Structure 1
Amino acid sequence: MSTYLDFNATTPVLSEVAELVCKLMLDEYGNAGSRTHAFGANAKKRVDLARDQVANVVAADRSEVFFTSGATESNNIAILGLKDFGNQHNKKHLITTRIEHKAVLEPIEHLEKCGFDVTYLEVNESGCVDPEDLRCALREDTLMVSIMHINNETGCIQPIPLICNILDGHEAYLHVDAAQSFGKLSGDLKNKRIDLLSASGHKLYASKGVGALVARKRGFIKPPLKPIMFGGGQERGLRPGTLAVPLIAGFGLVCEMAQNNHEQWCSHAAKLKATLIDELDKVGAMYNGSDTSPFVLNFSVPGVNSEALMVKLRDIAAVSNGSACTSSSYEPSHVLLAMGFEEDRIAGAVRVSWGVTTEKLPVRQILEQIVLLKM
C-alpha cells in the first residue's frame, strides 16, 4: 500500500479523536440547543469545552469562536459578512494576494462584482508578499486585508507579524486564512491585530465538516459581521444550523493535543522534510518557494512532468500537484503562475505533504522513479 503524503489536502483522523466522535454519536447524541434535559446540557458542555480548546490555540476568548463547517465557510462569512458595513460606511476597498485559496478569491471576486475595488498584492519566486506593497496599497476606504498564513500549494509562510505592524492604527479588518497553520504553526496567529481567522478541522487530524471562525473583538467591540445564511439563530446569530457536537468536540480535542505536542510535531515534520530534500538535491530539484512550512515541500525536477511522476508513484506514495479543490482542473496553478515560474517548471511541480502519523518518507523509491523518468 502506498504512503499517504497529501496531508495538505486532508489529514487522517487521529484515533483519539475518532473514538471521541464515535462515543458522542452513539452514546451522547443530544442537541446542544436542547435546554430541557441532560442530553442537551451535556452536549452544550462538550461544545463549550471545544470552544475553549479552539480559542486557546490562538490566545482568543471563547466568545470569539464561531463553529462552522470548515475554513471555506469561515472565509465566506469573514469576507461577505463585512459587505453591509462596507457599503454603509463607504469603505469599499479590499486588499488580498494573487496566491490565495479559491475560498478567498471567489468571495472577493463576488464583492468586486458588487462594486468593491480590489488590490491584488503580487509575490515573487519566494512566494511571499512584500509588506511594503501592503503599506503602499492601504487607503482610507480600505475595509479588509485578507492574506493567508501558509500557502496550501507551496507551504510559503507569509510575514503576518510585519503585516500586523503595518496595519497598526489603521481601521481595516485583517482576515487570515489559517487552514494550513492552525494548530501546527500557530505562534503568529496569536497576534491581537488579526481580527478574523479561519480554520478547518480536517487539516489538523479532525473530521471533515467542522471548522471555526475566530472573530476577535477590538476592546469590547465585535467585528461588524452579518450572517450570510439564516434560520435558527445558532452561534449568536452569525451561523445558523444545529451544531455538529461530535465533530466539534473532536476538533476541540485535537486542538488541545496540538497545543501539548507542538514542538514534537514540528520537529518530526522538519526531520522528514530534510530527508526528502537530501535525496531530491541529487537530481537537481528546484524548490518552489522559500521560508516554507516543515509539513510540506513543493518541488520540480527538470525534465520530469508531474502527471507522469504521480502515475509512477501510484503504488509508492499518494502525492499531488496542487490544491485538492482544483485537482479536476487542467489549468496551471494560479499560485505558481503568480510566483513567475516558467511553464515547464509549473508542469513539473509536485506537492508532498505529511504529518504526525507519517513515520517515514519513501525517499529512495521516490528518487528511483524520478531517475527513471529523467532517462
Structure 2
Amino acid sequence: MAIYLDYCASTPVDPRVLQAMVDVYQNKPGNADSRTHIFGQQAKEVVNTSRKRISEILRIDPTEVIFTSGATESDNTAIIGLMDYGVSSGEKHIVTTAIEHKAVLEAARYLEKKGFEIDYVNPDEKGRIHAENVLKLVRKDTLLVSVMHVNNETGVIQPVSEIGDALSAGNVFFHVDAAQSFGKLNDELRNLKYDMLSISGHKIHGPQGIGALVLKRKAYKRPPIEPLFHGGPQEYGFRPGTIPVALVAGFAMAADLMEKEYPAKIQTLQKQKDELVSALLPYGMRINGDPDHSLPNVLNFSIPHIDAEAFFAAEKDLYAVSNGSACNSGSYKPSYVLQAMGYDEERIAEALRVSWWDQPIDIKPLVRYVQDVQ
C-alpha cells in the first residue's frame, strides 16, 4: 500500500468523525426543517449544535455560519454573490492574487466577463503575497479583496491579518479562502478582520461535500450576498436545499478534534519536514515556497533531473503525492502558482508537493529513486 502524502488534496476521515456521522444516519434520519415531529427536531438539534461548535472555534455568532457543499461553493457565493450589489453601487473592481485556488480565480473571471475589472497580484519568488501590493490597488470603486490564507500548492501562509487590518476601516469587502488553514491556524482566524471566510470539511479529517461560508456582520448587516441557488429558506436564505445533517455533524466533530489536537502535533510535523529536507538537500533540492512562512506538514520542492510525472509513474505503488492542486491534476498543464512565482519550465516540471499528517514517512525509496535517476 502506498504512503498517502496528499493531505492538501483531501484527508482521511477520522474514525471518530465517521462514528458521529453513522450515528446520525442510523438514529436521526429526519429532515432538519421538519419541525412537526421528533425526528426533524433531533436533526435540527444536530445542526444547531454543530453550527454552534464551529462558531465557538472561530469566536463568531452561530448565525454567521452558512453551511455549503464545500470551499468551492463558498468561494463562488462570496464572489459571484456580490455581483448584483457591485453593479447597483457602481463598485465593479476586485483585487485578488494570481495564486488563488481555481474556485476564486474562475469566479473572478466570470465577473470579468460581466464587466468587472480584476487586478491579480503576483507573489514573490517564495510564493508570498506582499500586503502593500494588494492594498495599493484598492480604489474608490473597489468592491472586494479576496486573498487566501494558505496556498494549497506551496503551503505558504499569506499576510491576511495585515490586509484585513488595513481594510477594516473602509467599505471594501474582504474575503479569505481558509480551506487550508482552518483547524491549523485557528488563533489567527479568531483575530482576523474579514467579511467572508470559506472553510472546508475534508481538509481537516472530515467528510467531503461539506463546508461553510462565514458571513460576518458589520453594524448588524451581513455582506449583501445574493444566493447562487433558489429554493427554500434554509441557511438563513443564503443556501437553499435539505441540510445534510450527517455531513454537518462530521464537519463539526472534525473541527472540534483539530482545535483540541492539532497544537500537540505541530512539533512532530515540523520534525518530519526538517528530516525530509535534510535527506534531499544533498541532491540539489530547491524548496518551492517560503520555509519561514508555511505550514509544518506541506512541502513543495524540485530536484534537478527528477521529472514529476516520471516519478508518479515509477513510484505510484510507494507514494501517493501530487505536483499541485487536485483541481488541476487531471491535466499536464504547468502549475500556474509556480509560474506566478517566476519559476522556469524545468523547475516546474520537477515540482512535487508532499503533504502529510503524523504517520511515519519512509523516505528511503524516494532517496534511492533520486540517486538512480541522477
The TM-score by the shorter chain falls in which range?
A: over 0.9
Cα offset, 1:297, TM superposition: 0.3
Q: Which residue of 1 aligns with 2:118?
A: 118
User: Per-residue CA shift, 1:229-267, capped at 9, x if unaligned?
Assistant: 001111011001100000100100111111111311322
Q: Which residue of 1 aligns with 2:202?
A: 202
Contact kept, 8 Å, 1:269 with 1:295, in 2: the verdict is yes
Q: Which amino acid in 1 is paired with 2:322? A: S
Q: Which residue of 2 aligns with 1:73?
A: 73
Rounded Cα–Cα distance in structure 2 between residues aligned with 1:70 and 1:168: 26
- Of 324, 327, 337, the residue aligned with 2:326 is 324
The percent identity for this pair of structures is: 44
Q: Which residue of 1 aligns with 2:345?
A: 343
Contact kept, 8 Å, 2:186 with 2:259, in 1: the verdict is no
- Give the TM-score, by structure 2 length: 0.97
1:3 matched to 2:31? The reply is: no
Rounded Cα–Cα distance in structure 1 between residues aligned with 2:151 and 2:131: 16
**Structure 2, unpaired ranges of 5+:** none
Cα offset, 1:181, TM superposition: 0.7
User: Per-residue CA shift, 1:66-104, capped at 9, x if unaligned?
Assistant: 000000000011001111111111111100000011100
Contact kept, 8 Å, 1:309 with 1:370, in 2: the verdict is no
Superposition RMSD on alpha carbons, in Å? 1.1
Cα offset, 1:311, TM superposition: 2.0
2:136 match: secondary structure:
helix
User: Per-residue CA shift, 1:43-64, capped at 9, x if unaligned?
Assistant: 1111111101211232211110
1:166 matched to 2:166? The reply is: yes
Contact kept, 8 Å, 2:66 with 2:235, in 1: the verdict is yes
Tell which deviates more after alignment, 264-273 or 6-15: 264-273
1:257 match: secondary structure:
helix
Q: Which residue of 1 aligns with 2:311?
A: 309
Rounded Cα–Cα distance in structure 2 between residues aligned with 1:118 and 1:238: 25
2:169 match: secondary structure:
coil
Cα offset, 1:168, TM superposition: 3.0
2:140 match: secondary structure:
coil
User: What are the within-5 Å matches in structure 2 for residues 276-315 of structure 1?
Assistant: 276-290=276-290, 291-315=293-317
Q: Which amino acid in 2 is paired with 1:153? A: E
Q: Which residue of 2 aligns with 1:99?
A: 99
- Runs of 4+ in structure 1 off by over 3 angstroms are none
User: Per-residue CA shift, 1:163-195, capped at 9, x if unaligned?
Assistant: 112213221111011111111122222235211
Rounded Cα–Cα distance in structure 1 between residues aligned with 2:58 and 2:366: 37
Contact kept, 8 Å, 1:57 with 1:182, in 2: the verdict is no
User: What are the within-5 Å matches in structure 2 for residues 179-328 of structure 1?
Assistant: 179-290=179-290, 291-328=293-330
Contact kept, 8 Å, 1:131 with 1:162, in 2: the verdict is yes
Cα offset, 1:365, TM superposition: 1.8
Rounded Cα–Cα distance in structure 2 between residues aligned with 1:270 and 1:31: 43
Q: Which amino acid in 2 is paired with 1:339? A: M
Cα offset, 1:293, TM superposition: 1.1
User: Per-residue CA shift, 1:306-326, capped at 9, x if unaligned?
Assistant: 111122321211000111111
Q: Which residue of 1 aligns with 2:45?
A: 45
1:15 matched to 2:27? The reply is: no
Rounded Cα–Cα distance in structure 2 between residues aligned with 1:271 and 1:72: 32
Q: Which residue of 2 aligns with 1:135?
A: 135
Instruction: Check 1:18–1:215 CA distance in 2 against 1; reply closer, same or farther (3 A cut).
Output: same
Rounded Cα–Cα distance in structure 1 between residues aligned with 2:257 and 2:159: 26
Rounded Cα–Cα distance in structure 2 between residues aligned with 1:349 and 1:106: 24
Cα offset, 1:361, TM superposition: 1.2
Q: Which residue of 2 aligns with 1:85?
A: 85
**Structure 1, unpaired ranges of 5+:** none
Contact kept, 8 Å, 1:309 with 1:373, in 2: the verdict is no
1:118 match: secondary structure:
strand
Rounded Cα–Cα distance in structure 2 between residues aligned with 1:265 and 1:34: 41
Cα offset, 1:211, TM superposition: 0.5
